[in-house]
């Protein structure tokens, strides 16, 4: 007889692996309808005591967001697609993003109104029942004349979920510097500051800008540009609370160039960008080899502090994943990762518009690089794993946390590597920890206690954290299972 877990929780005991001194307590919550979308992204939040898991994909010419919401006790609150009235052409509404601010989750809605000549960006509350409010909290507007040049809106929330930064890139005007509007809001959506700025030297139409906001409201725009030979260079624009602008350039020295990067803000409201580099050669044979790592921070919010360090040995296809800060140690997590787009067969010629894109994925070792706050490299570690996948690969991405003063990495590994395994699945969840001195623990292998009906698999990267408790979704083809883990 199968238990119905959708209304409550079931506490499970520890499952053990090779690390006999550590224990993990797991708790299972309810089941919801899963959303398995090819190429999807995931946004995961805690707000108002509830846990929100969003799957986002681009469908029907706009972003679509699918929600699975669970209460603090693990009960299913919602399992649905976010729906709003989309209006009509030239008077349309669309959800472009979802954020968590204070105790609420908001759908960020863009309203293109040609008659009014305005592109208005607003926030609507997403209830724990999955319903999107019809009430608009208007945040920012810009001129709108053409659909293909309507401007771009961004939203970013500070790490403590107390500050919302809204950045509007105004419509492109040839031979003019890029213009942006920035507005800051507190946890109650009260505007605390606004700025109108020009970005010096930025003239291109197809800008690739990411937005970060620190706890004190300092806003950072990181723009990916390219060198003359097509290599990545980064421009960082720091917007202070008084509206003053400071610019930094983040680039390596030829023939070494940036290949991947990730960023975060610190408790002292600085920005850190770190990632991997590779050496450009005239003739390249085989895979792209990472030869080093770089570390940038705007020290004291005034100084460009940049360091480059070679890896212990070149690594193929090393991709930066996440930056985490633990006191005075900064962890850069990365993965050996390759994505290959499958070329349509000749028989599909002439049907490109209807041909479904497919991908092959390779996931290999996870790397952990530890830095001092100055950017000096402290250590380099890696955790061995290897998987290949077709189209759906999210289960092979790791989850990264800082818990009890250690970096905690949760990932799936091949069950055949471990003794005493009785799992029906070919992969099992594994946990390792890393100290600030670079001490890697032996693995905790989760075996029987997370073996559920219908071949559920843990999705380590679909996660949130509350205190020292990690929360994940386990999935099969039809259902998601809410699960918490706590290291004892």
- Residue 1's pLDDT band, with cuts at 50, 70 and 90, is very low
Q: Which of 93-102, 142-151, 230-239, 321-330 has the lowest mean pLDDT?
A: 142-151
Query: pLDDT, tens digit, for every residue of 220-256?
Result: 999 998 888 888 999 999 999 999 999 999 999 989 9
Percent pLDDT > 90 in the chain is 73
For residue 471 the two structure tokens come to 């929360």
Q: Is residue 423 predicted with pLDDT exceeding 80? A: no
Distance CA 161, CA 367 (A): 29
Average pLDDT on 106-131 reads: 97
CB contact at 8 A, 16 and 84: no
Distance CA 246, CA 298 (A): 10
Question: For residue 46, what pLDDT is reported?
Answer: 97
For residue 99 the two structure tokens come to 């954020």
Q: Which of 311, 309, 315 is nearest to 289 (CA)?
A: 315
**Distances in whole angstroms, Cα of residue 119 to Cα of each of 59, 110, 122, 123, 203:** 21, 7, 10, 14, 21
SS percent in the chain: helix, strand, coil, step 5: 0, 60, 40
**Distances in whole angstroms, Cα of residue 15 to Cα of each of 5, 20, 328, 445, 454:** 20, 10, 32, 7, 20
């Amino acid at each position: 007889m199968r238990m119905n877990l959708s209304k409550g929780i079931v506490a499970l005991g520890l499952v053990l692996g090779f690390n006999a001194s550590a224990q993990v307590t797991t708790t299972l919550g309810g089941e919801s309808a899963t959303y398995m979308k090819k190429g999807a992204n995931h946004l995961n939040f805690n707000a108002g005591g509830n846990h929100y898991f969003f799957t986002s994909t681009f469908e029907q010419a706009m972003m679509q967001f699918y929600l699975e919401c669970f209460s603090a006790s693990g009960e299913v609150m919602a399992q649905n697609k976010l729906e709003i009235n989309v209006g009509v052409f030239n008077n349309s509404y669309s959800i472009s993003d979802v954020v968590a601010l204070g105790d609420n989750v908001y759908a960020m809605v863009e309203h293109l109104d040609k008659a009014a000549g305005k592109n208005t960006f607003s926030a609507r509350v997403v209830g724990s029942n999955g319903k999107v409010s019809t009430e608009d909290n208007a945040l920012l507007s810009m001129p709108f004349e053409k659909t293909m040049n309507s401007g771009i809106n961004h939203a970013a929330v500070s790490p403590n979920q107390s500050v919302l930064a809204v950045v509007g890139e105004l419509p492109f005007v040839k031979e003019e510097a890029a213009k942006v509007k920035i507005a800051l809001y507190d946890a109650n959506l009260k505007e605390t500051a606004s700025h109108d700025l020009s970005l010096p030297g930025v003239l291109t139409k197809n800008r690739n800008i990411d937005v970060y906001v620190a706890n004190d409201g300092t806003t950072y725009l990181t723009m990916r540009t390219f060198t003359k030979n097509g290599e990545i260079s980064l421009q960082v624009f720091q917007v202070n609370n008084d509206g003053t602008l400071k610019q930094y350039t983040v680039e390596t020295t030829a023939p070494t160039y940036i290949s991947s990067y990730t960023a975060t803000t610190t408790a002292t409201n600085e920005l850190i960008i770190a990632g991997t580099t590779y050496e450009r050669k005239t003739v390249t044979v085989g895979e792209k080899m990472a030869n080093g790592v770089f570390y940038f921070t705007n020290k004291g919010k005034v100084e460009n502090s940049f360091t480059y360090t070679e890896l212990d040995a070149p690594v193929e296809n090393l991709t930066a994943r996440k930056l985490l800060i633990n006191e005075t140690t900064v962890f850069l997590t990365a993965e050996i990762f390759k994505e290959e787009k499958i070329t349509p067969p000749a028989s599909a010629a002439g049907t490109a518009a209807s041909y479904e894109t497919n991908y092959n994925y390779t996931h290999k070792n996870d790397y952990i690089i530890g830095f001092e706050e100055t950017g000096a490299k402290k250590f380099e570690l890696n955790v061995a794993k290897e998987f290949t996948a077709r189209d759906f690969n999210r289960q092979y991405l790791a989850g990264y946390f800082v818990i009890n003063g250690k970096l905690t990495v949760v990932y799936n590994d091949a069950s055949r590597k471990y003794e005493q395994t009785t799992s029906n699945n070919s992969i099992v969840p594994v946990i390792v920890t890393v100290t600030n001195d670079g001490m890697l623990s032996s693995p905790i292998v989760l075996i029987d206690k997370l073996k559920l009906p219908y071949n559920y698999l843990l999705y380590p990267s679909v996660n949130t954290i509350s205190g020292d408790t990690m929360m994940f979704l386990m999935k099969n083809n039809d259902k998601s299972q809410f699960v918490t883990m706590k290291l004892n």
